[in-house]
Amino acid sequence: MGKEESYELGPRGPAPPKAPKGRGRRKKEQLEDMKKEMDVGLVGAVAAERLLRDGPNELRPPRGTPECVKFGRQLAGGLQCLMWVAAAICLIAYGVQEGQGDRGSADNLYLAIALIAVVVVTGCFGYYQEFKSTNIIASFKNLVPQQATVIREGDKLQINANELVVGDLVEIKGGDRVPADIRIISAQGCKVDNSSLTGESEPQTRSPECTHDSPLETRNIAFFSTMCLEGTATGLVINTGDRTIIGRIASLASGVENEKTPIAIEIEHFVDIIAGLAIFFGATFFVVAMVIGYPFLRAMVFFMAIVVAYVPEGLLATVTVCLSLTAKRLARKNCVVKNLEAVETLGSTSVICSDKTGTLTQNRMTVAHLWFDNQIHTADTTEDQSGQSFDQSSETWTLLSRVVTLCNRAQFKSGQENVPVAKREVIGDASETALLKFAEVTVGTVSEARGRFPKVAELPFNSTNKFQLSVHTAGDRQLLVLKGAPERVLERCSTVMIKGQELPLDAQWREAFEGAYADLGGRGERVLGFCARWLPAGTVAAGTDPEALPEVAVGLCFAGLVAMIDPPRATVPRAVLKCRTAGIRVIMVTGDHPITAKAIAAAVGIISEGSETPEDVAARLRVPLEQVDPRQARARVVTGAELAGMEPGVLEGILRAHPEMVFARTSPQQKLVIVESCQRLGAIVAVTGDGVNDSPALKRADIGVAMGIAGSDAAKNAADMILLDDNFASIVTGVEQGRLIFDNLKKSIAYTLTKNIPELTPYLIYITASVPLPLGCITILFIELCTDIFPSVSLAYERAESDIMHLKPRNPRRDRLVNEPLAAYSYFQIGAIQSFAGFTDYFVAMAQEGWWPLLCLGLRPRWEDTHEQELQDSYGQQWTFEQRRYQQYTCYTVFFISIEMCQIADVLIRKTRRLSLLQQGLFRNHILVIAIVFQVSIGCFLCYCPGMPNIFNFMPIRFQWWFVPMPFGLLILIYDEIRKLGVRRHPGSWWDRELYY
């Protein structure tokens, strides 16, 4: 709570109207003086001066990242850096070769250009994605400027709220948004809704009295951006803009550093592996080249070429496209992702800290229970009124429903006849609205009933009486109806209605009432009592002073209790259960009361059935709370006050000890502390929330999920993901998709990495055995960036191998995206088979054209001599340089086709990591089948399109050369099936450890 204590009034510097710093009673006199003085408000000139000094009264939007920085960030990820380095190396190599006058070194230049192009293009793509989702979010922003009623120089003016300054006298009334932090000077029945600040949806009274030292708790301060629900108030502006409470929370959020996403960490880990291997290979062959006797510079160029060849150019595009495909899929399910990488984060999430109001609950008071005829009845709380109703045949219900209908000042806004009752807009506070809607649904049209019983007089609710009553004409009699705090209501009753019978209210009934009241209250519900009395006609004349009414309201007949709650959303309990089966812990963090929080937590399954809090255990065992063994209590409710008194580290202990946690009455800062504690325990934390008070925690979380409809702008700004339908259940979809994409990315990466080896080995053999180059640089680029992109992306459409929602979240330290078995299996096994396939086809193509394998060894210097126009092949035929060059291109193409053929087998084996291909279904992923067809078509096009030889170094190759690599493809399929069989049959064995990735 540190910062709240330091809440200052007014801006820095001299505060001209000595606004009362302490709201202490000792300054009361001064205050009274000031009030008089303040009746006329500020002078326009002073206001203008202060406006200039303090700036406009609006929240400075969190310093938006400049667009160029956003774009720059897209170019500076782990993989991107790898590619930049590679491009730089290429350029250096190109420079070195140019310096040596080596022609044909343009390859390195092309490679550098291609690398840069890939980074820039994928960067643009990622930027566009981000831009698009930011736009979706921006569209929610309310662009209508807010108006405020201000008194200046004694005149009442309507001005834009952003022109308010400290010291201004403002008026607010029901329906207004409070335009700044104001201290109430006078109020008439003013109630505000602080839910956006505290998460507590109960309306709070605002009056001039100072009731608490903490500005958040005291009654005489209304906060910027909260809603005034009813009544009117006049107040003095004490803070504007960013210095308001809400401004401070918003800036707290912007001060929180954004964590790296788990997928970014994974990619960095993976880049480390790649870079390590690349340098290892490069260095090895540098030494080899030096030993063979190449000149230093040449060996250096070889080194660079090998390092660059290790860079999987296509991977960046694959990862970006896979992530954005999932982002798109999520968007269709109403989850908008602001940052592509956040797509996966939900999949790794192990703890969800959820706000209660508006996330788990519907954020509207609803009648949940009724007590009449000495029985608790359950009302239908579903959003669409699809639930069961209760028995309405009793006459007591007739009376109760009449009281509920009549003793209610709320009314529907006009013109909503066709709107479902639950969605209609209502003028009135939350409880009255709930009762109005309840009456409308269960009894029928309320306005009609009110018309039949015209109101004669009424006394509105106030905090001293704690009840509200009205008198209605009912034929030749009058009906007095009263509702209010149950104990106050009961005081005024002398009878109770049971099954239509008016019985005297004796001790037995009082006990029954107490029991029901306690029961309902214990469920976290707000309970109201209802009673009525028939009066003879003319008992109350129209225009009677309302203050005189309580005198009439005695000896009433108690009709029943109505309990209201902000009910959980229908989809939430199932979603919470799904999260639990998926090994995700759901923690409730709310600003609301502990009892309500616990009740909702129990209702949605955050506290599961049979779980007890230490308090419950203490009550059950009848021992003091201190003696309860924490291990006996699965659940625990911790309030903000307890949290504030905790030593550092205690919270972690509590989090570890109790699997089911509810935090109530927490401040924004405490939410942040809770999230950080979870993270310290090694969890990947998702935070859901909608209010400004959630925004720091949303920002701090590994993934912040904000509500799209109810969410405040601050929350949406801080979040990484937005649920457009405010439905907690969408998170489950997010988790599922996140886990799926993690698995599928693994497959895509494995697929993409594999071909690195058959792309690299030709060069290694070229250096060491001096054969004519089997595979050219442009051809490699075509494999990486053209043909193989489609299959690798299509793996993103692969369905899960097992029920991923029944597994525990991955352990971020153990279950890596790319692990050693994956790299080893892809590189040294499948990649090796592919290399052999390529070389087989290469030697076949060479031999059939006249160059036998043994002749090829050591042939390179003469083969590449541009002046050698009569090089003899194995038959004594003489080849010109150009003829040899086209033969070399033929080899490129043949090698290319070999890799393609093997990659078809590779993409098929990558469909599963554990299951047999036949179990997964060979053709069930249609996109993958299409991708393979497409890949082959591009291969054919590249080979046989006229003009290709001179543009991209592809030659039309003989038909049978397509078949040479096929046995190797088959070998890959069979070998991988054997591997999977071993992995399935012998879990935990050496085979499993080394070959399961």
Partner 1 sequence: ELLGRSHITNAFKILLFYVIFYGCLAGIFIGTIQVMLLTVSEFEPKYQDRVAPPGLTQVPQVQKTEISFTASDSKSYEPYVKNLEKFLKDYSADQQTENIVFQDCGEMPTDYKDRGPYSDAQGQKKVCKFKREWLENCSGIQDPTFGYKDGKPCILVKLNRIIGFKPKAPVNDSLPAEVMAKYSPYLIPVHCAAKREEDADKIGTVEYYGMGGYSGFALQYYPYYGKLLQPRYLQPLVAVQFTNLTYDVEVRVECRAYGQNIQYSDKDRFQGRFDIKFDIRSS
Question: Annotated catalytic sites, by residue?
Answer: 355
A 10 A CB-CB count for 974 gives 12
Is the separation of the CB atoms in 373 and 503 below 8 Å? no
CA distances, 717 to each of 128, 203, 247, 591 (Å): 18, 26, 14, 20
Interface with partner 1 (CB under 8 A), residue from 881, 914, 917, 982: 881
Please list every residue from 287 through 346 that binds partner 1, using CB under 8 A: none
Q: At its nearest, how many Å lie between partner 1 and the CB of residue 953?
A: 13
Does 836 participate in binding partner 1 (rule CB under 8 A)? yes
Where does this chain touch partner 1 (CB under 8 A) — which range of 22-30, 172-180, 419-427, 844-852? 844-852
Q: Residue 157, by phi and psi: left (phi above 0), alpha (psi -120 to 50) or beta? A: beta
Q: Which of 595/871 has CB closer to partner 1? A: 871
Q: Which of 985/993 has CB closer to partner 1? A: 993
Interface with partner 1 (CB under 8 A), residue from 331, 421, 441, 847: 847
Q: Which two tokens stand for residue 246?
A: 């809400």
Q: At its nearest, how many Å lie between partner 1 and the CB of residue 625?
A: 47
Q: At its nearest, how many Å lie between partner 1 and the CB of residue 847?
A: 5
In the block, tokens 């990591």 appear at 913
Is the separation of the CB atoms in 768 and 288 below 8 Å? yes
218 burial type by CB count under 10 A (0-12 exposed, 13-18 middle, 19+ buried): middle
3-state secondary structure of 574: helix
Q: Which of 209/994 has CB closer to partner 1? A: 994
Does 281 participate in binding partner 1 (rule CB under 8 A)? no
Interface with partner 1 (CB under 8 A), residue from 880, 916, 919, 937: 880
Q: How many residues sit in the footprint of partner 1 (CB under 8 A)?
A: 40
Does 441 participate in binding partner 1 (rule CB under 8 A)? no
Q: At its nearest, how many Å lie between partner 1 and the CB of residue 278?
A: 20
Where does this chain touch partner 1 (CB under 8 A) — which range of 201-209, 599-607, 673-681, 849-857? 849-857
Is the separation of the CB atoms in 270 and 749 below 8 Å? yes
Binding mask 524-543 vs partner 1 (x if CB under 8 A, - otherwise)? --------------------
Where does this chain touch partner 1 (CB under 8 A) — which range of 107-115, 577-585, 749-757, 835-843? 835-843
Interface with partner 1 (CB under 8 A), residue from 870, 923, 947, 959: 870
In whole angstroms, what is the distance from residue 959 CA to residue 719 CA?
Answer: 56
Please list every residue from 883 through 942 that binds partner 1, using CB under 8 A: 883, 886-887, 890
Q: Which of 687/845 has CB closer to partner 1? A: 845
Q: At its nearest, how many Å lie between partner 1 and the CB of residue 980?
A: 16
Residues 6+ apart with CB under 8 A from 827: 277, 753, 754, 756, 757
Q: Which two tokens stand for residue 322?
A: 């896979």
Does 848 participate in binding partner 1 (rule CB under 8 A)? yes
Does 840 participate in binding partner 1 (rule CB under 8 A)? yes
Does 853 participate in binding partner 1 (rule CB under 8 A)? yes
Q: At its nearest, how many Å lie between partner 1 and the CB of residue 960?
A: 10
3-state secondary structure of 364: coil
In whole angstroms, what is the distance from residue 210 CA to residue 316 CA?
Answer: 60
Does 117 participate in binding partner 1 (rule CB under 8 A)? no
In whole angstroms, what is the distance from residue 422 CA to residue 366 CA?
Answer: 9
Does 850 participate in binding partner 1 (rule CB under 8 A)? yes
Q: Which of 467/961 has CB closer to partner 1? A: 961
Does 843 participate in binding partner 1 (rule CB under 8 A)? yes
Q: Which two tokens stand for residue 773?
A: 């180059």
Q: Which of 756/888 has CB closer to partner 1? A: 888
Does 867 participate in binding partner 1 (rule CB under 8 A)? yes
Q: 26: which DSSP letter?
A: G
Does 872 participate in binding partner 1 (rule CB under 8 A)? yes
* Residue 457 dihedral angles phi and psi, to the nearest 5°: -155, 160
Where does this chain touch partner 1 (CB under 8 A) — which range of 445-453, 555-563, 871-879, 913-921? 871-879
* Residue 234 dihedral angles phi and psi, to the nearest 5°: -120, 140
Q: Which of 645/947 has CB closer to partner 1? A: 947
Q: Which of 155/882 has CB closer to partner 1? A: 882
Pairing of strands 351-354, 585-589: parallel
Q: Which of 326/887 has CB closer to partner 1? A: 887
Pairing of strands 685-689, 351-354: parallel
Report the Cα–Cα distance between both ends of the chain, in Å, rounded: 47
* Residue 870 dihedral angles phi and psi, to the nearest 5°: -140, 50
Q: At its nearest, how many Å lie between partner 1 and the CB of residue 843?
A: 6
Residues 6+ apart with CB under 8 A from 39: 151, 154, 169
Residues 6+ apart with CB under 8 A from 165: 42, 47, 50, 51, 54, 57, 237, 240
Q: Which of 223/827 has CB closer to partner 1? A: 827
Does 71 participate in binding partner 1 (rule CB under 8 A)? no
Interface with partner 1 (CB under 8 A), residue from 279, 290, 449, 832: 832
Please list every residue from 14 through 53 that binds partner 1, using CB under 8 A: none
CA distances, 601 to each of 489, 583, 594, 604, 611 (Å): 30, 18, 10, 5, 11
In whole angstroms, what is the distance from residue 317 CA to residue 546 CA?
Answer: 74
455-473 burial by CB neighbour count: b if 16+ within 10 A, else e?
ebbbbebeeebebbbbbbb
Q: At its nearest, how many Å lie between partner 1 and the CB of residue 850?
A: 4
Q: Which of 766/886 has CB closer to partner 1? A: 886
Where does this chain touch partner 1 (CB under 8 A) — which range of 89-97, 304-312, 531-539, 833-841? 833-841
Is the separation of the CB atoms in 590 and 351 below 8 Å? no
In 355-505, DSSP assigns E strands to: 366-372, 375-378, 411-412, 426-427, 455-459, 467-474, 477-484, 493-498, 501-504
469 closest CA partner among 478, 477, 457: 457
Q: Which of 805/832 has CB closer to partner 1? A: 832
Q: At its nearest, how many Å lie between partner 1 and the CB of residue 766?
A: 17
Alpha helices, H only, 755-830: 756-769, 777-782, 789-794, 820-824
Does 869 participate in binding partner 1 (rule CB under 8 A)? yes
Q: Which of 657/847 has CB closer to partner 1? A: 847
Interface with partner 1 (CB under 8 A), residue from 100, 284, 447, 950: 950
Does 977 participate in binding partner 1 (rule CB under 8 A)? no
Where does this chain touch partner 1 (CB under 8 A) — which range of 230-238, 457-465, 724-732, 879-887? 879-887
Is the separation of the CB atoms in 383 and 570 below 8 Å? yes
Is the separation of the CB atoms in 79 and 119 below 8 Å? no
Does 828 participate in binding partner 1 (rule CB under 8 A)? yes
Q: At its nearest, how many Å lie between partner 1 and the CB of residue 857?
A: 13
Please list every residue from 257 through 276 that binds partner 1, using CB under 8 A: none
Return the biggest CA–CA distance within the chain: 130
Does 873 participate in binding partner 1 (rule CB under 8 A)? yes
Q: At its nearest, how many Å lie between partner 1 and the CB of residue 840?
A: 5
Does 839 participate in binding partner 1 (rule CB under 8 A)? yes
> Side chain identity at 454, as an amino acid letter?
P
Q: At its nearest, how many Å lie between partner 1 and the CB of residue 308?
A: 26
Q: At its nearest, how many Å lie between partner 1 and the CB of residue 806?
A: 32
Is the separation of the CB atoms in 637 and 594 below 8 Å? yes
Which residue ranges make up the site for partner 1 (CB under 8 A)?
A: 828-829, 832-833, 836, 839-840, 843-844, 847-850, 852-853, 867, 869-870, 872-883, 886-887, 890, 950, 958, 964, 967, 971, 990, 994
